[in-house]
Amino acid sequence: MNLNTIWSLLKETFNEWQQDKVPILAAALSYYMIFSIAPILILVIAVVGFIVGEQIAQEEVFAQLESFFGSENAASLRTILQNQFNPSSNITATIIAVVTIIFGATTVFAQLKQALNLIWGVEPKPGRGVKGFIQTRILSILMVLGIGFILLLSLIISSVLSGASAWLEQHLFIPSFVWSLVDLVISLSLTTLLFGQIYRVLPDVRIAWKDVAVGAGITAVLFTIGKSLISLYLGNSSIGSAYGAAGSFVIVLVWIFYSTQIFLFGAEFTQVWSRRYGSQIRPNKNATLTRE
């Protein structure tokens, strides 16, 4: 693939990105994500904590949050998370809290599904009603479980690498930058797996894994670069201090907004790639095409 082809791909992707008004979609998703982030993290910690223990799961989740938002903003999220759900001795209150958490955690995935359907030119068939609502929520719960699985995988790999790197550095004199490179490759691989899972499973389409792999891989690279640039921007701007006590909230919102645009740009790239070089994106049995 030459530079002209790559430029043509990116140009068409950007045109589709503008046509689908992705910044507006990203703004809407950011709004939903703000209210869903705590419930999602609670469920992820519960899933991972069931296997490795709640304390270890919490520390891993907050370590990831700190790498994204910085220690101060991650601490604010920790406080929100700890206040979100305190188990009650009242069984009715506990049930209501659990249902609220599940509903909150799945809402953003339901909206993300709509955004991906719009980008990929499909829409659900009319008349699905309650059945469609329930299926979407179940699928969203599976997405949360998938995130938990990937986080668990990351935790296991990190533990293995930590032990292996110490031994190999001592006996084989492997320089530390090699492990930084290995860590980057693993991080990109896990991010690709996460994005591929969302692109492949969440929207109402049938798409080949090979097309998803290309799109998710490109998105993972863009997301990793974008994460560093966004963190650099937020770290050198006064956007947080300008809002006083709400500064941490605003920083998280801005980070989510820009990250969502990168993710949706990747979705646009995936559908352009699939249409040009892949097996095409086709609606599943529950959806119809909205454009050719």
Q: Which of the residue ranges 12-16, 23-27, 161-165, 217-221 would you say has the lowest mean pLDDT?
A: 161-165
Residue 6 · residue 240 · CB < 8 Å: no
Closest by CA to 41, choosing from 80, 81, 89, is: 81
Tell me the mean pLDDT in the region 173-200.
81
State the chain's mean pLDDT as an integer: 79
3-state SS, residue 9: helix
Q: Angle at the Cα of 142 (from 157 to 156), degrees rounded to 5?
A: 10
pLDDT at residue number 265: 93
Domain boundaries, the chain: 3-289
Evaluate whether 227 touches 68 at the Cβ level (below 8 Å).
Answer: yes
The residue written with tokens 């980057």 in the block is 184
pLDDT at 135: 76
The CB-based long-range contact list for 86-91 (8 Å cut-off, 24+ gap) reads none
* pTM beyond cutoff 0.85: no
| Measured torsion, CA atoms of residues 259, 260, 265, 269, in degrees rounded to the nearest 10 | 100
Output the DSSP codes for 173-220.
---HHHHHHHHHHHHHHHHHHHHHHHHHHSSSEE--HHHHHHHHHHHH
What are residue 73's phi and psi, to 5 degrees? Answer: -70, -35
pLDDT in tens, 60-75: 778 777 777 667 667 7
